[in-house]
Amino acid sequence: MITENQIKSKVWESKQEYSLTKESLKMLWENSIPLIRIKDFATKQECDSLVAQAQLFNFDSYQNVYPKIERIGITVFEYNRISKSAYFQAVERTTKLRDSIMAASFNPLERLMDKIRDCTGANVRIASEPLYGNYYAGLIRKIEQGTQWHIDYAPSEQSEWESEVCGTDVHLLHGRLEGVPYPIIPGHFSVGRVVETGGQVRDVNGKLIRPGAIATFLDVHETCYNCWYCLVAKSSTRCPQRKVYGVTYSAKDGLLGGWSQLIYLKPGVKVITLPAEVSPKQFIAGGCALPTAIHAIDRAQIQIGDNVVVQGSGPVGLSAAILALLSGAGKVIVIDKFESRLKVAQSFGVDETLIIETDNPRQHIERVLELTNGHGADVTIEATGVPIAVKEGLAMTRNGGRYVIVGHYTNTGEILINPHLEINLKHIDIRGTWGIDFSHFYRMIELLKRHSDSRKNIAWENLISRAYTLKEINQALADVEHGYVLKAVIQPNS
């Protein structure tokens, strides 16, 4: 699992030997430890037999590679000047040879997968890719200094195609959005490996996008940049021509949603490759919530030292709270009815978390006023989608403050507001936030790049509660709707 080059290129947190546990596997995936040693994995007789068979078949296919392998998951074809299809043809040939060797000795690959299954309860199998087949697992090689033989394996698949489940998908399930051409393939925020391109394709930075690259794309497409909203109002998110992957494209139009093993990106879709510093998991952890929150923070115009209240600690609310901290807020207060979500907010360093008490519905409002010397918040950001939260938010915002609504993406009802007492007399700015454009999407990736090291910066991955397969989509939607998970991710190829 490790090479000498990797050890030299990494200052490991610990160089002690670790046995196989859930915790040590997590540390290995996070690149915090160099290896896991499984003692008594095989007998000396089994090892001798395996080596003898490998030598008999003249099986020594290890080659030095450049650049150095420095992260789990890099595949051999990225280092060879061969096509992807040629790589998988070579895999097929080599796998047959590997299986012959193991059939004549013993099968350490299955044994290792069984041990990981027993340890984690996970569905462990050899990584595969649609239209191509399995990746290669099991590389018998000679160590550079010495003659000892051993075997490297990559049996635990790390999905390279992920699409999130968000509140919008729950609304889509219940038919709460207008203009949706059912049936659809949901999944509007996704990341994955490019299978093929139709000619030369470049991202916004001019970088050539090649097969094998990890890329993502803005789900909003076909914005016309020719209408009154685009040209005069400078509000492209209100363009009547805009389409959204996973929302306003019908399944009849093709593979235009992320909850699919493959997705087709139409000409003109804004694609960008992920920088090396940002993993697919970190990107999907930010998901559509992070650029949406960036838009909300832009609208909020937070100034250094501002007291900021965030209503709701779902993905959008938590992202807004993190961004408020990064924007220099003097105090960030997060409110929610789920204590589990508030604990996640605390882990990101917010100053106060307040739980909504059903038997004392004004308690959190009074506490905000207490924490702000009776004035109220300079900025309040609504990220709940609950109508009554707007009335409560206005009450928590100071005279002359700013109230930003970002949680209401569907019609959930009305509330009674006194325009004189709650808005005009308080001289409050109320600002809606609808959708995102490419600038929010691009800045999201730059932000993740700047704060990608979870040990030093922000542990974005903590936002993900669980990954689901395509067969588990209904369960994922139910878990999101009932608040059982913070963020759900669909891995279509698992």
Q: Would you give per-residue pLDDT tens digits along the chain (494 residues)?
A: 333 333 333 455 566 778 888 888 877 776 677 778 888 888 888 877 887 887 787 665 443 333 333 333 334 444 444 566 666 777 777 778 888 888 888 888 888 888 888 888 777 777 776 666 777 666 444 334 433 333 443 333 345 688 999 989 999 999 998 889 999 999 999 999 898 888 889 988 888 998 888 899 999 999 999 999 999 999 998 999 999 999 999 999 999 999 999 999 999 999 999 988 888 888 999 999 999 999 999 999 999 999 999 999 999 999 999 999 999 999 999 999 999 899 999 999 999 999 999 889 899 999 999 999 999 999 999 999 999 999 999 999 999 999 999 999 888 899 999 999 999 999 999 999 999 999 999 999 999 999 877 666 788 888 888 889 999 999 999 999 988 889 999 999 87
Dist CA 265 CA 242 (whole Å): 15
Beta carbons within 8 Å of 243's beta carbon, 6+ residues apart: 220, 221, 222, 249
- Return the closest-CA partner of residue 170 out of 339, 315, 342: 315
Place of tokens 């093709």: 254
Dist CA 61 CA 139 (whole Å): 7
Residue 273 CB coordination number (10 Å): 20
pLDDT confidence of residue 327:
96
Q: Which amino acid is at 141?
A: R
- Return the closest-CA partner of residue 457 out of 325, 333, 304, 297: 325
User: Is the Cβ–Cβ distance between 259 and 185 less than 8 Å?
Assistant: yes
Sign of torsion over alpha carbons 331, 337, 341, 347? positive
Dist CA 38 CA 90 (whole Å): 30
Dist CA 379 CA 434 (whole Å): 18
User: Is the Cβ–Cβ distance between 242 and 223 less than 8 Å?
Assistant: yes
Dist CA 394 CA 399 (whole Å): 10
Cis peptide, bond prior to residue 315, ω within 30 of zero: no
User: Is the Cβ–Cβ distance between 344 and 486 less than 8 Å?
Assistant: yes
pLDDT confidence of residue 494:
74
H runs (alpha helix) in 304-423: 315-326, 339-347, 363-371, 387-396
DSSP state of 137: -
pLDDT confidence of residue 158:
45
Joined together, the tokens standing for residue 434 give 């609808």
Dist CA 310 CA 378 (whole Å): 11
**Class of residue 238 by CB neighbours under 10 A (exposed 0-12, middle 13-18, buried 19+):** middle
DSSP state of 77: G
User: Is the Cβ–Cβ distance between 333 and 368 less than 8 Å?
Assistant: yes
- Return the closest-CA partner of residue 469 out of 177, 159, 73: 159
**Which residues does residue 402 pair with via DSSP β-bridges, in sequence order?**
379, 429
Q: Which amino acid is at 103?
A: A
pLDDT confidence of residue 456:
67
Question: What are the CB-based long-range contacts (under 8 Å, 24+) for 419-424?
Answer: 422/391, 422/394, 422/395, 423/394
Sign of torsion over alpha carbons 34, 38, 39, 44? negative
Could you tell me the CA-to-CA distances from 443 to 230, 293, 439 in Å, in that order? 20, 11, 6
3-state secondary structure of 269: coil
Q: Across the beta sheet with 377-382, what order do the strands follow?
A: 352-355, 331-336, 307-311, 377-382, 397-405, 429-432
Joined together, the tokens standing for residue 289 give 């919530």
Could you tell me the pTM of the whole model? 0.69
